Structure 1
Amino acid sequence: MIHGSVVHDPTGSWDTKAPLDRDAHTALATAVLHWDQHTAPAPAPADVEQTALLLSGYLDRLARELHAALETLPHGQLPVRDHVAAEIALSQVRRWLDGPSGAFQGEPLAQAQSAARLVDTLHHAVDRTLGAHPPTAT
């Protein structure tokens, strides 16, 4: 049996260099949103919980990327409505991840679908924010 190890990373920077696999996580989020416990059986509860954990890790990393993009953006470069939307998306993700009882209280399928919706929300915010960055010289 293979066991994981605990990583002590107080700065939260050990995974910042790893590329985000957006396509895979988008496909996973789309699949999760199509799980319906009333019309077809959802995957086993353990699989649903594992999927929610995977999406929550991706959300955390994506939120850090969005926050960094907002920090480096020149003032006034992003329209106010897009900046406010990005800040709201970040607060939703932080509230979901850092909730008082944890993100995984309640029905596992509902939690996984909530994470999938947040992935979509953050993707839109990241796209708008990165699109507003001035082009870099090559």
Structure 2
Amino acid sequence: MSGTHTVLYDPHGLIEAELPLDRAPYEALVTAVLAWTDPHLEPRDYEQIALQLTGHARAVAADVQRHAAALPKNDGRGALAEVVLREAAGRLSAPLMGTAHCAQNRARLVQALVVRQIGKRCR
């Protein structure tokens, strides 16, 4: 236990794997954010939206990683997933800014990861 919260040790992501992702609210958020032309929000509002999208991007990336790990080593889909995951990790490591541009970048990242995630399940 650390401070006022408990730190869970889950190196294989089993807890997260058991929780289905609720896509609908995030799909709606991604659609809304990508439709912005000049929203005039406060910087803290952009940051909160980007944080929500970042959390969902991390959850989807973990799901893509689990599916990619289950593929045979010579399957090209696994290699493509690894490229997408490396790019996602780089984009997620960028600091959040209180701007529409930052929130839209996170929305594009979620969109790209979801396409990869759905592609893994449909094949």
Q: TM-score per shorter chain, which class?
A: 0.7 to 0.9
More deviation in 53-62 or 5-14? 5-14
Q: Which residue does the alignment assign to 1:96?
A: 91
Superposition TM-score, scaled by structure 1 size: 0.72
Moved over 6 A (4+): none
**Percent identity over the alignment?**
29
| Backbone CA RMSD of aligned residues | 2.2
- Deviations 1:79-115 (Å, cap 9, x if unpaired)? x2x44432222112111222xxx431x4521111001
> Which amino acid is the alignment partner of residue 82 of structure 2?
E
Unpaired segments ≥5 residues, structure 1: 133-138
Q: Which residue does the alignment assign to 2:26?
A: 25
Aligned residue pairs total: 118
1:111 aligns with 2:102: yes
Measured in 2, the distance between the counterparts of 1:18 and 1:108 equals 31
Unpaired segments ≥5 residues, structure 2: none
Please point out which of 39, 42, 52 is paired with 2:40: 42
> Which amino acid is the alignment partner of residue 34 of structure 1?
A
Whether the aligned pair in 1 keeps the contact of 2:26 and 2:53 (CA below 8 Å) is yes
Measured in 2, the distance between the counterparts of 1:18 and 1:121 equals 21
Q: Normalized per residue, which structure has more helix?
A: 2
Whether the aligned pair in 2 keeps the contact of 1:35 and 1:42 (CA below 8 Å) is no
Q: Which residue does the alignment assign to 2:118?
A: 127
